[in-house]
Amino acid sequence: MEPGALPPHHLLGAFEHVNVCAPMVRYSKLPFRALVAQYNTHITTTPMILAAEFSRHPQARDAEFSTNQAERGTFRLPSQHTNRDVVFRGSLVCQLAASEAGPLADAAELVSPFVDGIDLNCGCPQPWAYAEHIGSYLLRQPETVRDMVRTVKDRLGHAYCVSVKIRIDADLRRTDTLVRNALHAGASLITIHGRTMHESSASDPVHLDAVKFAVDCANACGLQTARGTSPHDAWVWAEDGGSGGRAPCIVNGDIWTNDDAVEWRRYTGARGAMSARGLLVNPALFAGEPRTPPEAITRFVDHAMSWGLPTSFLHRHLAYMLEDRMPSRAESIYFNSLASPASILDWLSDAGYV
């Protein structure tokens, strides 16, 4: 029997310890998503895709998005409601960036048959994104976010999973307003990166108290309206199309080990834990591995060769994964200097990875 497919918000509602791969421009593409899905990552996310370009240009669609039947993982977890183990298929989310509801809904409609959820980027801090009124610009535009969520929900149907990924605001009242607006418009889940738009992942620690505050705001919104009626069985949830209930949250920021994921979820009350840089250096992080297992490197190269990945991206990924495995700094510098696919494969072969 085919394992059941649950959209992300139902998956988060039905199971504890849900693990999520973050959207990462250039990095969270098909071969990497398929890899982390083999190591206990239940939900994966595409890199941010510009909605207007995606809906207007077929070339942008081909360049920005690809998927296949094999990329989602199959998992077994105890259901919260029945206490029995349930086998289910992982979820794939497409993250879109837009400044207006119309282009967002157009792109969402095009990609929705191939993914299990649409996520709106409300966190990209780059100056060009802010100038285009996308990403973190939306953090202080709660009414625009509300209209965008509502428009996508109207276009795709209420059961379709539509989420927003936010950063916290130094003025937490603004976070509260943003979360409430998104949820009242029908957002199915909220992902909270515990840094402000002015803070950097490299130098500023994540603010788990602020994430907890945002989770509490989401919980305080109460039940959404279109909840399914059979909370005893996850499969009934999936089939009855309800998207109501307490909207689940996902905590994001500085998750480097599976213990971090467990602790971050416990502390904040979020149902899911999302990692970006942690998964880049160790794609098996959520499987409890202390560093990238050698077979993960072999698998990744296989996925990249079978499904395509530009050499520069392959190289960068491998440099991250091999960070803790390089015998010396000189070898690391040598590996980073490799330029052709053949030289990279030769190095991997000599090192016993392929």
**Only segment of 35-43, 248-256, 281-289, 321-329 that touches ligand FMN (CB under 6 A):** 248-256
Distance of closest approach, residue 134 Cβ to ligand FMN, in angstroms: 11
Q: Which is nearest to 283 in space by CA: 41, 74, 95, 88? A: 41
124 is catalytic: yes
Report how many residues bind ligand FMN under the rule CB under 6 A. Answer: 22
The runs of H, that is alpha helices, within the chain are: 8-14, 30-37, 51-56, 58-64, 101-111, 127-131, 142-156, 172-184, 208-220, 234-240, 258-268, 277-281, 294-307, 311-322, 329-337, 341-350
Min separation Cβ 279 and ligand FMN, Å: 8
Q: Which amino acid is at 243?
A: S
Measured torsion, CA atoms of residues 247, 252, 258, 263, in degrees rounded to the nearest 10: -70
| 277 near ligand FMN, judged by CB under 6 A | yes
Q: Does 319 bind ligand FMN (CB under 6 A)?
A: no
In this structure, the strands spanning 91-97 and 117-122 are parallel
- Of 124, 161, 217, 221, the catalytic one is 124
User: In this complex, which beta carbon is closest to ligand FMN, that of residue 95 or of residue 177?
Assistant: 95
Considering the rule CB under 6 A, would residue 169 count as an interface residue with ligand FMN?
no
Q: Which of the residues 179 through 198 are near ligand FMN (CB under 6 A)?
A: 193
CB 178 → ligand FMN: shortest distance, Å? 15
- What are the beta bridge partners of residue 69? none
Min dist. Cβ of residue 351 to ligand FMN (A): 25
Site for ligand FMN contains 121 (CB under 6 A): yes
| Distance (Å, whole) CA 341 – CA 249 | 40
How many alpha carbons lie under 13 Å from residue 242 in its C-beta half-sphere?
Answer: 20
Residues of this chain that interact with ligand FMN (CB under 6 A) are 22-25, 27, 47-48, 95, 121, 123-124, 165, 193, 201, 252-255, 275-278
